Amino acid sequence: MMVKQKLRQAIDFLYSCGCATSEAYTCIVIDCVRSNDIYQAKRLQAHMERHLFQPVDAFVHNQLLHLYAKFGRLSDAQNLFDKMARKDIYSWNAMLSAYAKLGLVEDLCALFDQMPYRDSVSYNTIIASFTNNGRSGKALRALSQMKEERIEPTEYTYVSALQACSHLLDFRRGRQIHGRVIVSNSVQNVYVCNSMIDMYANCGDIGRARWLFDKVVDKNVVSWNLMISIYVKKGNPDECIHLFDKMQLSGFKPDQITVSNVLNAYFQRGCVDDAKTMFGKITKRDEICWTTMIVGYAQNGREQDALLLFCEMLHENVQPDSFTISSVVSSCAKLASLYHGQIVHGKSIHMGVDDNMLVSSALVDMYCKCGVTSDAWVIFEAMPTRSVVSWNAMIGGYARNGQCLEAVALYERMLQEKLKPDNITLVGVLSACINADMVEQGQKYFGSIIEHGMTPTLDHYACMITLLGRSGYISKAVDLIKAMPHKPDYLIWSTLLSLCTAKCDVKHAELAARHLFELDPLNAGPYIMISNMYAACGRWEDVAAIRSLMKRNNAKKFAAYSWIEIENEVHRFVSEDRTHPEVEKIYSELTCLITKLQGFGYKPDTKIVLHDVGEEEKVRSISYHSEKLALAFALLRKPCGVAPIRIIKNIRVCDDCHAFMKSASLMIERPIILRDSNRFHHFIGGSCSCKDHW
């Protein structure tokens, strides 16, 4: 503050005295530059112009130009440059710097071409500007021009040129520059080495990148961060963590970038608790560290932890960015937590990022996965720009929620807008065709996959197998499997098995089951499905045989559970659950509900019971499935509500519970939205959006 005050007083003194000497102007302009005082610099320039001062060289004016350029004051720099009677290479380079600072590449090129002579600084400025503004090809052409003019590249030149090669994945040119680096004896410059390491890694030669890294004598933190991040990007978390340990042993202190990369590595390994421990030790956490933890939790099935950490982040007054918000919204989508999703949506509006494409796409997906496609559509329509991800979220959301015609219409609109679909788009529209029994349309879309420049994936084949099988063409579905260019995987055979068991097609069900037992003998799902089919056919000896095989193979059954959010609290239930604090009231409510529904025509579907027991025992065994307990609890807490009751289940809803929910929606006169592992079921007035196909 004292320096600036003295500078102001000095210039005030100039104005009181009139014209000054060249030495006085030189001393004061140096003080202006040292203190970065633009205001006093402009006063000094005005004083010189008032007294028609003409310096003997360009030094004083060049100092002012560099100061204006440093702070992006292009108009001030241009005004001075145009008035200068004497210009040297430093004057021109200062103007180049001003244009580069603002990213005005075209103006920069025009000025560069006007220069009467150039030096390495001129070329360094234009090469760096090209590289930093997505014109790496031009950067390398400028490097060639520099060579033609016999101007020797500097270490700054090599850094920018290597970055250009990295952006273009130009391995050949990158190796050529590496050779020139060796010849120029710049090979031990840490910044040049870091750029070479990055270039080799981006071009796919991780071994050469590591070899160079090990050769660098004077590594800095950037060197370590670069190599660590390379291993994270290439999916090698073990080597990343090993290098992190080595970095610390070498006496380097990790920074925020190091920590974020290592946290990513822990999450890649599935070591969520190790990441949590490391995060807890960080004293200064920036938004990158917070976001890394939130995204890591979300990607490792710890969505509730992601939400809690997001709340803690806000409490610590750390401002989330659009990537953080989109990750938290995705966590809400996986949890089907409409309440929390709406809160985060509100936060995004408050921050002004709700129209960010990443955030908007995540919001569309979240509302669809919470069964509120109307809100998703409002956001989708309001998006200023949409990516294929945005279209996929809306098309897939419509398909999952049983709005199949809307999904198909939106896909056709996408094509009309000349947007290219991807594999996920086609899965969404094929799913819509399945739910609407649109066999011919589905076959047409399947055939169009190649026309769009793609190869049908196993997901596409699974959709077609489902479409054919549900329409009664099991044999055609089997023929399609045999004709596939891919080897059928677990998804294909489990799709066929599900279709065959629903149709009681024993021959093809057994074919699918044999393949599934070989592919994953520990998964109990196929055993249960074929056992269900045998039970439905009254083939109890076969049921016993499958159960025996399941026991011998030590197959594990997934625990079925449902959850429901009431008054911002999640309540989870398993079949015949007795752990809830209000268990007696819940069972009383459910028993009463079952009795009333039977008066509405509901009849328990005991065909799904595998055991050869009496009818009364069969009815009891299916009466207290987890989704029924969740519904009873919702009615207990909100008996007179009108809003939809939202239930989530981790596996496919059984036939009996499906029929139960249809009858319940009619009797209680409230929509019930049930999301199972396959799709959404919107039960309204005794009907379901899936049209009894799921």
Q: By mean pLDDT, which of 34-43, 367-376, 413-422 is the weakest? A: 34-43
Specify the pLDDT at position 693.
75
| C-alpha–C-alpha distance, residues 676 and 682, integer Å | 11
Q: What is the pLDDT of residue 607?
A: 67
**Using 50, 70 and 90 to split pLDDT, how confident is the model at 690?**
confident
Q: Quick one: pLDDT band at residue 267, thresholds 50, 70, 90?
A: very high
**What is residue 385's DSSP assignment?**
S
Sheet strands side by side (includes 687-688): 569-574, 561-566, 645-649, 672-675, 680-684, 687-688
Q: What is the spatial distance between Cα 218 and Cα 40, in angstroms, rounded to a whole number?
A: 41
Strand residue runs (E) in 258-309: none
For residue 694, the model assigns a pLDDT of: 67
In the predicted structure, residue 477 carries a pLDDT above the cut 90 = yes
- 348-362 pLDDT tens trace: 999 999 989 999 999
Sign of the Cα torsion 245, 249, 254, 257 reads: negative
- Averaged over 492-499, what is the pLDDT? 91
pLDDT at 161 over 80: yes
Burial 575-606 (b: 16+ CB within 10 A, else e): bebeeeeeeeebbebbeebbeebeeeebebbb
Digit-coded pLDDT (tens) for 198-254? 999 999 999 999 999 999 989 999 999 999 999 999 999 999 999 999 999 999 998
Lowest mean pLDDT among 329-343, 484-498, 527-541: 527-541
Average pLDDT over residues 563-592: 90
With contact defined as beta carbons under 8 Å apart, do 194 and 222 qualify?
yes
| Of residues 361, 363, 374, the one with CA closest to residue 401 | 374
> What is the distance of C-alpha 272 from the center of its chain?
19
Higher pLDDT, 524 or 425: 425
Cα–Cα dist 203/164, whole Å: 12
Lowest mean pLDDT among 10-19, 501-510, 517-526: 10-19
**pLDDT-derived band of residue 533, with 50, 70 and 90 as boundaries?**
confident
Q: What is the pLDDT of residues 110-123, one digit of tens each?
A: 999 999 999 999 99
Annotate 507-530 with DSSP letters as a single string. HHHHHHHHHHHHH-TTBHHHHHHH
Judge whether 125 and 100 are in contact, CB under 8 Å: yes
Q: Please report the pLDDT score of residue 604 as a whole number.
A: 83
Among 336-340, 533-537, 626-630, name the one with the lowest average pLDDT. Answer: 533-537
Question: Residue 266, Cα to own-chain centre: how many angstroms?
Answer: 18
d(CA 694, CA 690): 6
Q: What is the pLDDT of residue 12?
A: 84
- Higher pLDDT among residues 641 and 596, named by residue: 596
Please choose, from the candidates 466, 473, 538, the residue with its C-alpha nearest in 3D space to the C-alpha of residue 499: 466
Segment 40-85, tens digit of pLDDT: 888 888 888 888 887 878 898 888 989 998 888 888 899 889 888 8
CB atoms within 10 A of CB 638: 14
Q: What mean pLDDT value characterizes the chain? A: 90
Residue 685 near residue 652, CB atoms below 8 Å: no
Indicate left, alpha or beta for 576 from its phi (over 0: left) and psi (-120 to 50: alpha): left
Tokens of 173: 């040119």
pLDDT of residue 387: 93
Give the other-Cβ count within 10 Å of 111's Cβ: 19
Average pLDDT over residues 22-43: 86
Q: Coil, strand, or helix at residue 653?
A: coil
For 196-227, the three-class secondary structure string (H helix, E strand, C coil) is: HHHHHHHCCCHHHHHHHHHHCCCCCHHHHHHH
Other C-beta atoms closer than 10 Å to the C-beta of 82 total: 8
The contacts of residue 344 (CB under 8 Å, 6+ apart) are 310, 325, 328, 329, 332
H helical segments located in 571-625? 583-599, 615-623
Tokens 């720099």 found at: 77
Report the C-alpha gap between 631 and 662 in whole angstroms: 12
Who contacts 181 (Cβ-Cβ below 8 Å, separation ≥6)? 158, 187, 192, 196
Tell me which DSSP letter residue 354 carries: T
Dig out the tokens for 110 from the structure. Answer: 């025009």
pLDDT at residue 496 greater than cutoff 70: yes
